[in-house]
């Protein structure tokens, strides 16, 4: 097996404006909207930590200070809960600050996901890193990121998560042209297209928000012109790397994910996600599910 640099850092882009959730996101970051009782972005950080990545860089923007506050200590609140003897809530309050070593950098203006990743260059340096998008939550039981890191360890280059979507939805994603390998869940990526029309898509295997990326991406991003939406697209940079050999930062492989993914990128999928998480909660489901069935039956 080849000896590639280990993946130890995670980058979480969280600088978006959250326009699809206005007016709720006028003053509250979209990433801080709760999935039952925990902000979505905490699930993302927990996923990185469970994959062994304890160094996490958040790429934030204006009006995102509450993200930093959430992952910081809240001494007055902790003291109040401790004085009440409320150990359960005290543990919940302390948990985010104890998850990992968090760092922050600001993306000065919204110039696309590729530019947000480029903002991580100084922190990441010349090491491979994971990139986790907050719109996608992956069920902790499926361990997608661990598998992607294993594939990087074997093949080098970059690794993207791919999920099969209906053809009418491919225009919402970056899509990949793929070739099989000797592993059932691993493919070689030969081309990538950002949000193609259905008739132009190379396949219906779509990129979901998990990446393990070779540091060569930074040089490529610095020379990638704005693409779709007049933004610097990470998909375009990965397309360049897909055509390179191992000595130039390539290739790109994909992990075919058939597990449980929860979308929080729009209102309808966000509501679905909240209901699914509540239905899985042992402390909520016994009362929530009968109520939900009764409510649906009454509609």
Residues 276-294: what's their mean pLDDT? Answer: 96
The alpha carbon of residue 150 and the mean position of all alpha carbons in its chain are separated, in whole angstroms, by: 18
Q: How confident is the model at residue 1 (pLDDT cuts 50, 70, 90)?
A: very low
pLDDT at site 161: 97
What integer is the mean pLDDT of 173-200?
92
**Averaged over 206-232, what is the pLDDT?**
91
Q: What is the pLDDT of residue 226?
A: 82
- Is the pLDDT at 274 greater than 80? The verdict is yes
Answer whether residue 198 shows pLDDT above 90: no
204 pLDDT above the threshold of 60: yes
Domain boundaries, the chain: 9-265, 266-298
Calculate what percentage of the chain has a pLDDT beyond 70. Answer: 99
pLDDT of residue 190: 95
More confident residue, 226 or 124: 124
Q: What is the pLDDT of residue 139?
A: 94
pLDDT for 227 beyond 80 = no
pLDDT digits (tens, 9 = 90+) for 12-36: 999 888 889 999 999 899 999 999 9
Residue-wise pLDDT for 160-175, tens only, equals: 999 999 988 888 888 9
Is the per-residue pLDDT at 93 higher than 70?
yes
Q: Residue 113's closest CA among 129, 132, 99?
A: 132
Per-residue pLDDT at 106: 94
Q: Phi/psi of residue 221, each to 5°?
A: -60, -35
Average confidence score pLDDT of the chain? 93
**CATH no. of 9-265:** 3.90.550.10
pLDDT tens digit string along 95-116? 999 999 999 999 988 789 999 9
């Amino acid at each position: 097996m080849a000896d590639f640099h280990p993946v130890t850092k995670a980058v979480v882009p969280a600088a978006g404006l959250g326009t699809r959730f206005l007016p709720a996101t006028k003053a509250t970051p979209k990433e801080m909207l709760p999935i039952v009782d925990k902000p979505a972005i905490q699930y993302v950080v927990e996923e990185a930590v469970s994959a062994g990545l304890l160094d996490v860089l958040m790429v934030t923007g204006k009006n995102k200070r509450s993200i930093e506050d959430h992952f910081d200590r809240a001494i007055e609140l902790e003291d109040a809960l401790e004085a009440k003897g409320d150990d359960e809530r005290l543990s919940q309050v302390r948990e985010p600050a104890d998850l990992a070593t968090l760092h922050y950098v600001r993306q000065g203006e919204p110039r696309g996901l590729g530019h947000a990743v480029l903002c991580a260059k100084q922190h990441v340096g010349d090491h491979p890193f994971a990139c986790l998008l907050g719109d996608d939550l992956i069920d902790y039981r499926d361990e997608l990121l661990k598998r992607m890191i294993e594939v990087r360890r074997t093949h080098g280059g970059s690794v993207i998560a791919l999920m099969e979507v209906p053809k009418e939805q491919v225009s919402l994603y970056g899509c990949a042209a793929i070739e099989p390998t000797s592993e059932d869940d691993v493919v070689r990526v030969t081309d990538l297209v950002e949000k193609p029309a259905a008739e132009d898509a190379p396949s219906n295997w779509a990129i979901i928000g998990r990446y393990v990326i070779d540091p060569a991406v930074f040089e490529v991003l610095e020379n990638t012109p704005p693409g779709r939406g007049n933004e610097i697209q990470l998909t375009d940079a990965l397309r360049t790397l897909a055509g390179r050999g191992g000595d130039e930062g390539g290739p790109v492989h994909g992990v075919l994910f058939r597990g449980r993914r929860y979308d929080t990128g729009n209102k309808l999928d966000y509501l679905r996600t909240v209901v699914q998480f509540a239905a899985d909660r042992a402390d909520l489901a016994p009362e929530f599910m009968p109520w939900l069935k009764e409510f649906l039956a009454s509609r």
